[in-house]
Structure formats: C-alpha cells, structure tokens
Amino acid sequence: MSYTDLEDKFDENNVYVRYNVVLEGPAVKPEDDEDVVKILPKDEPFREIALGVLHENNDEVLDNVKKALDDGVSPIDVINKGLMKGIDSVSALYTKGIYFLPDLMLAGDCLMAGVKDCEKVLGHKSETKGTVVSFVAEGDPHDIGKNLILMFLRAGGFEAVDLGRDVPADKVVEAVKEYNPIMLTGTALMTTTMTAFPKVVDAMEKAGLNVPIGCGGGAVRKDYVESFPMSFYGVEAYHTPKLANAILEDKLSWDDVRKKYSDIVGEFVPEYS
Ligand code: B12
C-alpha cells in the first residue's frame, strides 16, 4: 500500500490523543470513545477517579482518590465504582487496538496506587480470625484482583498469605501444608491459565487435602469452576472476607458455598441467580 493510499484511508474524525500527543485534525479523547462512554461512571467523584486510570495519570488518580476518601466516600466504592471502571475502559480500548500493552501496564499501576490509599483507610485488624492463602494461576501475570482480595481479607481480620502470581500447583499444596488455611483463593485472567485450577484440585486430592478454593478472575466462568470439585466461583474481591467468615464460623463446605453464595455475601449476585 502506498503512502497516498494510506492518506486516502485516513479518517481525521477518528484520531485519538495518546501519549499526550495531539495529532492534527479533530482529536477524539479516550473518554469520548463510544464503548468507553458506556463504561465510565456519570457521577463524581467516581468519574474523575476512573478518568485518571484511563489517562494513565498517577497524580490525577492519587489526587482524586485522596479527595474522595477525605470527603468520606467508602474505599470499597472508590475501588469498585471508580478505579475498576477506569481499568474496564482501558480494556475496551485495548480490545479495539487503540490502547496497547504499555497502556495496560501504566493504567494497572495507577489503579494499584489508588488501591494502596484505600487500603490505608480500610486498615488491618489487629487480631486475626484464620488464614487464607491466595494465588494467581500458573502462567498468569495478572495480579490486581488477587491484590484486592488480600486487602479485603486483611481489612476483614484474616491473615492473608500472598503466594504471588504464576504459582504452580505443587507450591499451592506446600503452602496449604505450611499455613493450614481455612480457604484458598485462586485468580486467572486468561483462558489459557484457568485450566490451572483443576490441576491444583488434583494435586490437593493426591496430597489428601481438602480446603475450599474460591476461583475467580476475568476469564473464569461459574460453570467451568463447578465442573471440578473442592471449588466455588468467586465473583467480587470484596466478597472474600464474607465467604471466609461463612467457611470459618458456619463450617460451610465448598458445596454449601456454591448453594448459598448470594445469602453469604448478602446481595443479589446475577451469576448465582
Ligand atoms: C491490566 C492488564 C494487564 C497487565 C497486568 C498488570 C497486573 N499487575 O496485573 C499486563 C500489562 C501485565 C497484562 C499483560 C498481558 N495481558 Co492483560 N489485561 C489487563 C486488563 C486490562 C485488566 C485486568 C485486571 O487487572 N482487571 C481488574 C481485576 C481486579 O480483575 P480480576 O483480577 O478479574 O478480579 C476481579 C474478579 O474477577 C474478582 N476475583 C478474582 N479472583 C477472585 C477470587 C475470589 C475467591 C473472589 C471472591 C473474587 C475474585 O475480583 C475482582 C473484582 O472485584 C485485562 C482486560 C480485562 N477485561 O480483564 C487484560 C487481559 C486479561 N489481558 C490479556 C492478555 C492477552 C494479556 C497478554 C497475554 C498480552 C500480550 N499479548 O502479551 C499479557 C500477558 C503476558 C504474559 N506474561 O503471559 C487478555 C486475556 C484474554 C484471555 N481471555 O485469555 C485480557 C482479557 C485483554 C483482552 N481483552 O484481550 N495485562
């Protein structure tokens, strides 16, 4: 294709502002993309928090998160209604080939910077009720969801052991032997890595261990998780302390959690309706 062909195809109404460079012609801002418009919150302070992530601007995120927390907005709302909507918007632009991998990395860092400030407000309870071990599936580098889980567990009074990302099944088994947790959480965001969950279950069975494993993450579906034993599907990171409480205090098994998930977390969960 010659340069002239390219020039003929150039649509000046569809030029995006990236890396702070405004190309000639009427620029389309990322927040004006039709898919992003559907995702971004309309109300403040959530919109400006989400925009900070979308703009990959750490200072913008930190300023707006601080302002919201100082105004008494709940840290859980800051995360779920603000920061997460930002990363969902980034994802929409990545899927369309408008944002690239570095955008995901920068936006992910901005999100985690905001989460750190929320964590300070949520705090850690001094006495711990029991231990939960969290891991990201083997081969998977996505750890934002797992980090949120750790934060909510610690704020809810649990000892949360972080095995990190890309964790092989035998490491999970070793950790179960070492920490004797009441529950495990596993996260996978790729269709290629969620198959690590049944491998963990196999390894646990072979070692004679039986601990409920909450499995979640972008790529994971409830039907898939329920196709192997010892597991239940986890929907939202902030559900984790409630699930751990039910397992600890009401002695619920993984099978009970599958049946009572909405009751346990105290809200309507479409995936479980
Ligand atoms: C940020 C991001 C990255 C960052 C990750 C940074 C980090 N530290 O995690 C980086 C840049 C590293 C990255 C890399 C890649 N990524 Co990426 N990434 C994303 C993105 C945009 C957001 C993921 C995210 O953090 N979401 C927010 C978190 C909070 O969500 P979550 O973990 O799912 O957790 C939520 C729930 O699932 C739940 N949850 C999770 N676990 C559990 C457990 C329990 C018990 C409970 C109760 C709840 C629960 O809690 C959270 C909500 O409250 C997604 C897009 C998307 N739509 O997901 C793509 C995405 C996951 N990436 C994708 C891909 C393909 C890649 C790459 C392979 C790209 C490449 N070509 O190289 C590489 C991986 C390379 C490798 N080493 O293998 C694809 C996966 C496609 C698929 N289905 O297989 C996605 C979906 C993008 C896309 N649309 O194509 N990525």
Mean pLDDT is highest, among 12-21, 24-33, 64-73, 119-128, for: 64-73
Whether residue 63 has pLDDT greater than 90: yes
Last residue of a domain, one of 76, 97, 122: 122
Residues 146 and 247 reside in one and the same domain: yes
129-148: pLDDT as tens digits: 899 999 999 999 999 999 98
Q: Which pLDDT score is estimated for 9? A: 67
Q: Which pLDDT score is estimated for 1? A: 46
At 152, is the pLDDT very low, low, confident or very high (cuts 50, 70, 90)? Answer: confident
Mutate to test the pocket of ligand 1, among 189, 245, 258, 272 (most ligand atoms within 8 A of CB): 189
Rounded to whole angstroms, how far apart are CA atoms 80 and 268? 16
Q: Whose CA is nearest to atom 37 of ligand 1?
A: 217
Residues 196 and 95 reside in one and the same domain: no
Residues 177 and 207 reside in one and the same domain: yes
H/E/C letters for each residue in 187-238?
Answer: ECCCCCCCCHHHHHHHHHHHCCCCCCEEEECCCCCHHHHCCCCCEEECCCHH
Tell me if 259 is assigned to some domain: yes
Residue 44: which CATH number? Answer: 1.10.1240.10
Q: Which pLDDT score is estimated for 31? A: 92
**Model pTM?**
0.87
Last residue of a domain, one of 101, 122, 143: 122
164-197: pLDDT as tens digits: 999 999 999 999 999 999 999 999 999 999 999 9
Mutate to test the pocket of ligand 1, among 79, 83, 134, 142 (most ligand atoms within 8 A of CB): 142
Residue 215: which CATH number? Answer: 3.40.50.280
Ligand 1: atom nearest CA of 101 is 11
Residues 208 and 140 reside in one and the same domain: yes
Domain range enclosing 74: 9-122
Q: What total of structural domains would you count in the chain?
A: 2
Residues 203 and 98 reside in one and the same domain: no
Rounded to whole angstroms, how far apart are CA atoms 33 and 35? 6
